[in-house]
Structure formats: structure tokens, C-alpha cells
Structure 1
Amino acid sequence: MNQPLQIGILNLMHDKLRTKNELQQVLESTIQPVNLQFFYPRLHYQNRAVPTVVKTQAKPLDLAAVAQLDAFIITGAPLDQLEFGQITYLPELQELFKVLKKVPQRLYLCWGAMVALHELYRIDKQLLPRKLFGVYPQQVLTADPLLAGLKNGFWAPHARYAEANRAQIAAHPQLEITAVNQAGNLFLVRNRLGNETLLFSHLEYQADSLEAEYQREIAAHPERHYQQPETSLAPVFGWQRTQQIFFHNWLNLVATTVKNNGGLIYG
């Protein structure tokens, strides 16, 4: 039996326990054995006690431990309406990105993709006219091993108020946009070395996660109007097959990269 892939996850989502459970479900349900290690940013709690729910499901970010991993994931975060300079733990992320250059594969999700593009490639973040919130068909722009097994029109959930600048990405010599939704919003970006994947969809979400996000928002600010997720055109849990195929492909990519001692897989 293959040795488990050692994968670190910096969990920045609002509902950390739900996110941990979602990522465990999608990453532990493939044929690749994995050992998941969850972390939280130390600077986020520099002036207050670390909540019990955080301490019980994750460890403080340890850069020395990260450098020994096979892969690393930075999740999304409910921060896309803020400027990057307003994020209290941005200096810690900047140090993390330096260490991640030693890690064979990196996967950045939603806001994690935005901050990675900004810090690593100087790609701007821009607010959308309205929240992109729902389940939408996606279009493949160019062949990508992470999309192998998916055809144009595959379903994926989006939940964000911002987008990385598509024109800047398209003009960057080290980056390639491989899929977008039907309106042209980003779905998947990769670097041409094949070791950084930037996924703008919350593919880790389970069938009830979009509704749970909507309920969290209105509970936090009942005085505001929040749009419900657009799901009427999609089958119930219409992105489940996309989820299974994508994470299966990504773990295979991690395993192959590790087998090749960090060698490039595609580019």
C-alpha cells in the first residue's frame, strides 16, 4: 500500500468545523491514502484567546512542519470584500508562501486563490457587481489534467464577492486560465509549472453548504438583504461528480509529483 500523502490545510473559513469535515470527506474518499494536518494562523489570534473550536480541530501554523509536506491547501475565507492590507495575518501568509515553494503541490481555494495570485504574481483583486452565489455550468478553455473526465457544462458552486483580475492573469506568462463559468468568471487557473492550482469554486462544499452559508450571513446581519444561492437550474448536489473527479485528479497529481521527487508534471 502506498504511503499516505502528507497534506497540510490552512483553514480560514468562517465555519471551521464544517470546512474541516468537508475537506476530510472529499480528500479521504479517494483511493489515495492521505494524512491531513489542519492549521490556523497564529496572528489571527494575537490579541485574543484561540477559540476552543479552533484549538480542537487545528494546530498553530508551523512553517518548519509545512516544509516537510507533500501538498498544502489554503481554504477560502470571508474576506473578499476587504483589501489585503487589512488582513491581520497577511504577514504570516507572506512567510507561508515563501515556505510553500518547497512543497511539491499547492492548492488555493476561492479567497485563498485571490491572495495567492496577489502575493505570488501581483494579480489584483476586484469586487464583483453582486455576489456570485450559486451553482453554474463551467466551460473548459484548455486541456488540464485536473479536469480530465469532465466535459463542457459541468456543474460547480461559486460563493464570492470578488474575483481576481482575469485580464492580468491572461497576460501573465506564468499563468493559464483553464476553465470559467458561462459568464466568464474564473473557475480554474494554474501556473505553467503545474505545481500551483487556483480553484475559484468551493468544490469542497456538500449539498447543503450554500444554504448554510446563506443562513450564516442573514443571521450575522439580519438588517441586510442577502441573495439566496442560484440553484434552480442545477440538479440537487449537481457538482458532486465534479467534486469527485477534481479531487481524485488532484491527489493523483500530488502522488505523481512526490513519486518524481517534486519533478514537473505538466506545463
Structure 2
Amino acid sequence: MPIKIPDDLPAAATLAAEGVMLMREADAVRQDIRPLRIGLLNLMPNKVRTEAQIARLLGATPLQVELTLVRMTNHVARNTPSDHIFSFYSDWESIRRERFDGFIITGAPVETLPFEEVTYWDELRRILDWTQSHVHGLFTICWGAQAAAQHFHGMPKHSLTEKAFGVYRHRNLAPASPYLRGFSDDFSIPVSRWTEVRRADIPADSGMTVLMESEETGLCLLDDPRHGALHMFNHIEYDSSSLAEEYFRDLAAGKSIAKPRHYFPKDDPSVKPENRWRSHAHLLFGNWINQIYQTTPFATASIGAKRG
């Protein structure tokens, strides 16, 4: 089934060119089914790129998905045109009384700051609490996952001596998990961060399960059933060229940056990177959506009632 997004959203043209099925509002209302409502709190600087990355994965699932783009209420995005933000995004205060089958919180370029120094930290904490009463399934990514682990479980983030940057091999530690259905035992995922959370800091009574881990870069995916959440510390949603763009951007800015590891063929930045994680990205998001579909209440007013 297709994904329903605003007709004029720039991501629509990108997704249509890739063959992702899109649905117009007029067509969606004719189908006698309830679409899954998914909210995306997009904290990434390149919001247009992130919209396409997430919508691509949601649109490949066999269910009708309605995507709502959400922004922080008082934070002004500096890297995205204001007309795009005001045309396609709702601030959280305006949608906080609504309920969502799923809610995604992205990473943000603030990971080296202490959490309490992030200008929107207090509002993000309110949003995380709100997901417990108004959202059925939560999916957090990179810094968003670190923030959720800190807020819900008090887990600290640790600075790295050098950036974890590249495409790293990971292990499937829970093959029986519904979220890892169809996953290989060994697979690759892009990583791009200056900080990490550690297995040793997982509280013994948290109820969390480590689903994916890398020998080189540590924790990747935690299942947090107590909060109806998956915490993904890496960037399985990235495009083939995302790491290359980060690398060349930093080089152009005169920053000291090592080449992303295990990424460029023969470690040659002049060669186009190959995508070795696309299929697993689709699997993970497809499994997450399917799990939501199997367990979310049909009556949206009941969403979050058990946790709220």
C-alpha cells in the first residue's frame, strides 16, 4: 500500500521517481480502512533529505500510512527554508492532543552538547512523556535515541576520542524478535556520531533487550517494551551517498575528518559508494510498522491508554 504525504512536499517527486507508491488525499478517503498515523519529529538539519529517507521506508510497507511532519514549537530551523517548515510542518503544541499509531524522533546535530544545554531539551522531554499516553509505538534514531535512553532510563552518553564514521558490521542478537524478522545474522549499518551509549549502563531492571550490536561501534538497537519503543543509535535510514556528503562537506569546511570506514570501494573517495544496508532498513521499518498494525487499537482514542 502507498504512503500518504502532502502533494506538494518535495520528497514526493523523489519518491515517485524511485517507484514508491504515493497516495493523494482524495484517493485515501475512498478506502474503507483506517490508515496508520505516523508522526515524524524531524530534528535533522537537512529536513527535506530526512523526509524522503523516512517516507521511502514507510511507503514500502504493505499498509496505508499517513505521515505527519512535526517540529519543535519554539526552535527555529536554520538550514531549511521557513516557507517549507510552515507549509508542511505542525509544531508539537498544535498536535499534542492528537494520537498516533507510531512516532519517529530523528537525530540532531547537538550530540556533543550536554542534554540540558540543548535549547529544546525541556520540550523534548515533554514530548517523550507525551508519547507514553498518545503514541502506540515509538522509534528513536541516533541522538534522538540517546535522548530517549537518558530520559527514560538515566543512561549517559559518552564522548568518543574519534568519530564513529562509516559502515560497520552488526550482529543479530535476537533472531526471534518480531522486529528482526527476516534479518541476516550479520549485516552492515551506517554510523555517524561523536558519542555513544554503552551496554554496561543499561539498568538491570529496565526490561530492555539488545537487538543489534557491533564489535567496533557498540550498541545499535534496543527494544524498550516498557515504553513501547525501539532505540536505534545509528543511521539505517541513510541514503547511499549520505556519508560521502558528510565527508566532503567537512573537508570543504577545513575540518579534520577521516574517511568513513568500510564505505568507499577500495577506500577510494572518488568511487561511488555501494549501498549494503538498504534491504535491512526496509526490513526493520516494515517489521516495526507490521508490529504496530498487529497491536494498535482500532479506536484512536484508545491509543496509549494502557501506558498513559
TM-score by length of 1: 0.88
Aligned to 2:82: 51
Between the two proteins, the alignment pairs up a number of residues equal to 261
Inter-partner Cα distance in structure 2 for 1:228 and 1:56: 37
Query: SS of the counterpart of 2:296?
Result: helix
Residue aligning to 1:125: 157
For 1:155, the equivalent position in structure 2 comes to 188
2:210 to 177, 190, 196: 177
Q: Which ranges of structure 2 fall in alignment gaps of 5 or more residues?
A: 1-31, 267-272
* Whole-angstrom distance in 2 between the partners of 1:193 and 1:180: 21
In structure 2, the partner of 1:79 is 110
Aligned to 1:23: 54
Cα contact 1:169–1:176 (8 A) shared by 2: no
**Shift in alpha-carbon separation, 1:125–1:225, aligned structure 2, 3 A:** same
8 Å CA contact 2:153, 2:203 repeated in 1: no
Residue-by-residue CA offset, 1:92-136 (whole Å, 9 max, x unaligned):
111111210021100000100000011111110111221111111
- The Cα offsets for residues 130-155 of structure 1, whole Å up to 9 and x where unpaired, read as 11111111112224211111122111
Do the aligned partners of 2:164 and 2:217 also contact (CA within 8 Å) in 1?
no
For residues 88 and 250 of structure 2, the distance between their equivalents in structure 1, rounded to whole angstroms, comes to: 23
What CA RMSD, in Å, does the superposition of the two structures yield over aligned residues?
Answer: 2.6
Taking the aligned partners of 1:162 and 1:172, their CA distance within structure 2 comes to 24
Structure 1 residues 116, 213: closer, same or farther in 2, change over 3 A?
same
**Pair member with larger Rg:** 2
Contact in 1 for aligned 2:138/2:229 (Cα 8 Å):
yes
Which residue, out of 167, 179, 196, partners 2:229?
196
Question: Any conservation in 2 of the 1:138–1:154 contact (CA below 8 Å)?
Answer: yes
Deviation at 1:68, TM superposition (A): 1.1
Q: Deviations over 1:143-202 (max 9, x none)?
A: 421111112211111111111132111634322212101325111101144711001121
Identity %: 30
Among residues 9, 30, 36, which one is paired with 2:40 in the alignment? 9
Amino acid at match of 1:104: H
**Are the equivalent residues in 2 in contact too, given 1:63–1:96 (CA < 8 A)?**
no
Q: CA deviation at 1:78?
A: 1.1
Q: Following superposition of structure 1 onto structure 2, how do residues 29-40 of structure 1 map, counting pairs within 5 Å?
A: 29-40=60-71
Gaps (5+ residues) in structure 1? none
Deviation at residue 217 of structure 1 after TM alignment: 3.2
Specify the SS of the correspondent of 1:45. coil
What secondary structure, in the 3-state scheme, does the structure 2 residue paired with 1:229 have? coil
* TM-score, scaled relative to structure 2: 0.77
Mapped to 2, the partners of 1:44 and 1:50 lie a distance apart of: 14
